């Protein structure tokens, strides 16, 4: 069966510090991978998605970036965090073809102080 | 543009009763998928049910069922015999199975409270 991991679960970072959130998927190959952000009490905002290694599409211009160094690894980064980067970050995966539902990791709660 | 609308920001139901959450969507496509996701207080997003647009039969998963009205572009979720563990945010999502913009489009969610 497939599982998706995210870490860390919680992170408190000062403004201007760097960020690295990691997501890995087990039990499948060549998944589509997604990063979402969710503000408190709000819906999901798609940040990045990837259909393969090194292939990243950005949905929202901002100071965040994403990378996919391995088939089942997806990393969300920032060089300098802003207060507005606070939120709940969710990683998700889906199969590349066929069924299109996305499966989510447990999320990372980021607070920028 | 494709959009998903959940017109009920908050709903409540008595334990063991039935509740229906509404979702409408706007699209010109004929081939697509629809989903309901549940987000409990832990905030992990969980897939509840999915519906293929080409299937006329409404999807069911145990106590969860949908009423899919393609012409009306409506996709409601019915929860039968509500349990305390059903309390969560519920999100409706649409996925176009054609074109270049193949990404999930999300509604803003409905917060469901289950009263004992």
Q: Cα dist. A59→A34, A35, B7, B65 in Å?
A: 11, 10, 25, 32
Percent of chain B's residues with pLDDT above 90: 80
* Residues A82-99: tens digit of each pLDDT: 999 999 999 999 987 655
Confidence of residue B102 (pLDDT cuts 50, 70, 90): confident
Question: Per-residue pLDDT averaged across A4-23, rounded?
Answer: 96
**A88·B33 Cβ contact <8 A:** no
pLDDT of res. A59: 85
pLDDT of res. A61: 65
Q: Which of B48, B13, B38 is nearest to B90 (CA)?
A: B38
Q: B84 by DSSP, 3-state: which?
A: helix
Q: Which of A104, A94, A99 is nearest to A31 (CA)?
A: A94
pLDDT of res. B87: 97
Cα separation, A33 vs A67, in Å, equals 10
Q: In this structure, how many other beta carbons lie within 10 angstroms of the beta carbon of residue B43?
A: 15
* Residue keyed to tokens 């590349």: A96
* Residues B65-96: tens digit of each pLDDT: 999 999 999 999 999 999 999 999 999 999 98
Phi and psi (nearest 5°) for A83? -55, -35
Distance from CA of B34 to the nearest CA of A (A): 9
* Residue keyed to tokens 């647009």: B53
Cα separation, A86 vs A13, in Å, equals 9
Which residues of chain B from 89 to 108 reach within 8 Å of chain A, CB to CB? Answer: 91, 95, 97, 102-104, 106-108
Strands (E), A1-72: 3-7, 10-13, 19-26, 32-38, 44-52, 55-58, 64-70
Cα separation, A9 vs A22, in Å, equals 10
pLDDT of res. A98: 59
Which residues of chain A from 38 to 67 reach within 8 Å of chain B, CB to CB? Answer: 38, 42-44, 46, 49, 59
Confidence of residue B22 (pLDDT cuts 50, 70, 90): very high
* Residues A52-82: tens digit of each pLDDT: 898 898 888 678 999 999 999 999 999 999 9
The token pair that represents B37 in the structure block: 């996701």
* Residues A24-39: tens digit of each pLDDT: 999 998 999 999 999 8
Question: Among partner residues B46, B91, B95, which is closest to A100 by beta-carbon distance?
Answer: B95
């Amino acid at each position: 069966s497939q599982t998706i991991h995210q870490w860390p679960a919680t992170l408190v970072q000062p403004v201007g510090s760097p960020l690295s959130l990691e997501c890995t998927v087990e039990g499948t190959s060549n998944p589509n991978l997604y990063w979402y952000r969710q503000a408190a009490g709000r819906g999901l905002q798609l940040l990045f998605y990837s259909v393969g290694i090194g292939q990243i599409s950005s949905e929202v211009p901002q100071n965040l970036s994403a990378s996919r160094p391995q088939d089942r690894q997806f990393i969300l980064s920032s060089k300098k965090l802003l207060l507005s980067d606070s939120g709940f970050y969710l990683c998700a995966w889906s199969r590349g073809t066929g069924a299109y539902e996305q499966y989510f990791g447990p999320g990372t709660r980021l607070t920028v102080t | 543009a494709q959009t998903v609308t959940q017109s009920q920001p908050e709903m409540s139901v008595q334990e063991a009763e039935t509740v229906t959450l509404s979702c409408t969507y706007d699209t010109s496509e004929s081939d697509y998928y629809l989903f309901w996701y549940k987000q409990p207080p832990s905030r992990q997003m969980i897939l509840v049910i999915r519906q293929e647009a080409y299937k006329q039969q409404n999807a069911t998963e145990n106590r969860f069922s949908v009423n899919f009205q393609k012409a009306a572009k409506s996709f409601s979720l019915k929860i039968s015999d509500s349990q305390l563990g059903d309390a969560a945010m519920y999100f409706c999502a649409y996925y176009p199975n054609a074109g270049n913009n193949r990404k999930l489009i999300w509604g803003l969610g409905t917060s469901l409270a289950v009263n004992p």
